Amino acid sequence: MRIIQASFIVPLNGEIVENGYLFIEEDGTLIHVTDQAPITSDFEVEVYEGILCPGFVNTHCHLELSHMKGLIPEATGLPEFVNRIPSLRNKSTENPLEAMAAGNNEMSQAGIVAVGDICNTSDSLNIKKDSALKYHSFVEVFGLDKNKNKELVIKGETIVQQYESQGQDCSITPHAPYSMSPQLLEGVYASSKGQLLSIHHQETKSENEMFLESKGDLVNLYEKRALDISAQISFKKSSSEYSLLQYLPKNQKVLLVHNTYSEASDIDLIENHFSNAYWCTCPKANWYIERKLPNYDFWIDKKLKITVGTDSLASNDSLNILEELKLIQKHYAHIPTEELLRWASKNGADFFGYSGLGSFTKGTKPGVLLIENVEGMMLTEQSRIKVLA
């Protein structure tokens, strides 16, 4: 048994315990959290300054893009970022498999215990299979040619089968409203059969302009490529209604990713329709691409179920959830650290249905993280993660 004392313990299933004690088995299994000093001297107490919390859940990552770090300049805007991904994806001098393995290791060292990973191939399968992290792979499908929807779904289903054959959690999912024909949306949702869904959602102003005003940078980009976006520009309603509400039942569990430009009407539509909508923020990626963050005060007022992702190294300089939280707190210093840790850990575990993760619950092994270099319960630029279990 190990006994760990810290300045603050944030169990995420109860109140913060100041100068408390965390009792765990040698394998990391939680025994209990208490403010009472141990009555036995048989065990040496490990004493730390900082915040103890459960391991992080990274709900949105693109491990396959790990070899693209630094290839796309910052602040290009999403349409230009999307435009550059295909041409640069195969031009990196870094070995993709080595970069993915390094990304997996970086996440582990940063206290991440589970990942929702977007993938377009099975290239990351062996890394995930051998990883200490728990992965749910979202096999992402996209396409605007309505005549190719069946072959695109079959390709996605083939990749899903490869992951499932190796015991990996996996589901087919759409990319984004602006990259999906109606026929492909129908095909993906029929194939998914109620499994977990993730979708890039209202990440850029031009997505809203495309659907509501039939204009904007995305429209210009696709028209230059002679792609068929007639369904999008003729819809004249929100991208949420186009890609989600008209197809999916109320009880569908869905992760909406980014949401940087989601208005009150969009949020209300989704929250009134779905009973299991989760809202993922990837602040560093949003800042990298568009120099904009969501209005988190608005999200909190709406009582949204918020999770945190890192996105990819094509749009970030790290795969580190704590760095995401530090950026949020830099701009929204009034949001309590306990609330941010709930987004980073428990809410993500709840979305994936990982009952053994996300809180210091007796009998579980959620991971034990120490956040060092804090000021009371506030994060600082120097705050770092130390993995204790």
The total number of residues written for the chain in this structure: 389
**List of domains in the chain:** 1-54+356-389 (2.30.40.10), 56-319 (3.20.20.140)
Per-residue tens of pLDDT for the chain, all 389 residues: 999 999 999 999 999 999 999 999 999 999 999 999 898 788 899 999 999 999 999 999 999 999 999 999 999 999 999 999 988 888 778 999 999 999 999 999 999 999 999 999 999 999 999 999 999 999 999 999 999 999 999 999 999 999 999 999 999 999 999 999 999 999 999 999 999 999 999 999 999 999 999 999 999 999 999 999 999 999 999 999 999 999 999 999 999 999 999 999 999 999 999 999 999 999 999 999 999 999 999 999 999 999 999 999 999 999 999 999 999 999 999 999 999 999 999 999 999 999 999 999 999 999 999 999 999 999 999 999 999 99
Position 154 scores a pLDDT of 98
Name the CA radius of gyration of the chain, rounded: 21
Position 43 scores a pLDDT of 86
Q: Kindly state the tokens that stand for 26.
A: 């040698």
Position 93 scores a pLDDT of 81
How far is the C-alpha of 196 from the C-alpha of 60, rounded, in Å? 13
Torsion 132-304-380-316 (CA) sign: positive
How far is the C-alpha of 16 from the C-alpha of 57, rounded, in Å? 20
Q: To 10 degrees, what angle do helices 78-88 and 283-290 make?
A: 100
Position 249 scores a pLDDT of 97
Q: Kindly state the tokens that stand for 29.
A: 């299994």
The whole model's pTM is what? 0.98
How far is the C-alpha of 34 from the C-alpha of 119, rounded, in Å? 42
Position 386 scores a pLDDT of 98
How far is the C-alpha of 37 from the C-alpha of 39, rounded, in Å? 6
Position 90 scores a pLDDT of 81
324-358 exposure pattern, b = at least 16 Cβ within 10 A, e = fewer: bbbbbbeebeebebbebbbbbbbbbbbbbebebbb
Position 40 scores a pLDDT of 75
